[in-house]
Chains A and B, each alone.
Chain A
Amino acid sequence: MNNAVLLASADDIDFMIHGLFSYELFGQTVWITTSHVCIAIVMMVLIILAIIANRKMAKATEVPDTLQNVIEIVVEFLDGIVKGSMGWSAPKFRNYIGTIFLFILLSNISGIFGLRPPTADYGTTFALGVITFSLIHINQFRYNSLKQIWTDMCSPLPPWLPIWLPINLISEIAVPISLSLRLFANVLSGTVMMALVYGLLKAIAYVWPAALHVYFDLFSGAIQTYVFCMLTMTYISQQMGEEPIKQQN
């Protein structure tokens, strides 16, 4: 089976994930792929940025200079979107949401720097979706009584008639799948498009693909990051409900 049949016999188009080396684990062959390497690079950059920001904020000044300004803008923006959509439960989640926001954003825009975006691998986005799914349901069981959960599950019909239960269960399971597929397909479509431009129009692909990079990597990547975090926050705060009257501190 060669790809030449399908890609107009241009054989230097390449947007697939490649295995770098494999090892045996409990009888299974596990591959270390290019996605792992790209994730490692993204996380390294994030860690270095975090260390620099930490050093900088340790000796923060009253009147911020350039770097401190940038750090404050980023943190205030992340806090703002979490506060805006989660309300009273924002302090519990702003670390997590801020982390995945920065991670997905950097992953998505890493296409500009010549990496294959790690979020264009379904393994990465499905892991993020599963984390969201677990968070939704952990908080559902923590903040709702079992009776209430049962009533929600049977929702349009009364709780003694659980005909809608399977449909509601399917819609719960669809949440992480649709979340992860949305992010994956968006980033993948950008990656494929750029690979086609560079592979098929190699002779004239100078300068103008930059505009496509701005759209596919920067704009689309930032929008999808925002959407993923927004939906995660919306789903979680739906389960957490109103602020408890008596706060036990």
Chain B
Amino acid sequence: MNITGQDLILACSAIGAGLAVIAGIGPGIGQGIAAGHGAAAVGRNPGAQGQIMSTMLLGQAVAETTGLYGLLIAMLLLFVKPLVG
């Protein structure tokens, strides 16, 4: 079986995609911290649950962005294949 240059690029793209989604670790930790502090805040002040919830979700969604950039890079490598000439 011959491995052409294009095959090599595809294989390396797949590895690169796998590495790119490691970016998901950061948002995971960040969202967990946000959720933990949100739970603590509700415990201290149950009356403000609605506002705490929306603030927490907003912060988590913003924190999620970096992970989604990693996902996008993986998608680009796998499906758009910018490196294959």
Contact = CB atoms under 8 A, between A and B. Distances in A.
B14 A6 contact: yes
- How would you classify the secondary structure of chain B's contact residues: helix, strand, loop or mixed? helix
A226 interface: yes
Contact of A223 (B57, B71, B84): B57
Interface string A14-54: 00100000000000000000000000000000000000000
Nearest to A230: B58
A224 B75 contact: no
Interface residues on B, range: 10 to 19
Contacts, number: 43
A171 to B, nearest CB: 14
B71 A185 contact: yes
A186 B68 contact: yes
B10 A182 contact: no
A6 B10 contact: yes
Interface string B8-33: 00100010000000000000000000
Contact of A182 (B57, B68, B75, B81): B68
Contact size class for A? 10 to 19
Contacts of A181: 65, 68-69, 72
B76 to A, nearest CB: 11
Contact of A224 (B61, B71, B78): B61
A230 B54 contact: yes
Contact of A1 (B57, B75, B81): B81
Contacts of B71: 185, 189
Interface of B: 7, 10, 14, 54, 57-58, 61-62, 64-65, 68-69, 71-72, 75, 78-79, 81, 84
Interface of A: 1, 3, 5-6, 16, 178, 181-182, 185-186, 188-189, 192, 223-224, 226-227, 230-231
Q: Closest 10 interchain pairs by CB? A: A185-B68, A227-B61, A182-B65, A185-B72, A230-B58, A185-B71, A178-B65, A6-B78, A189-B71, A5-B10
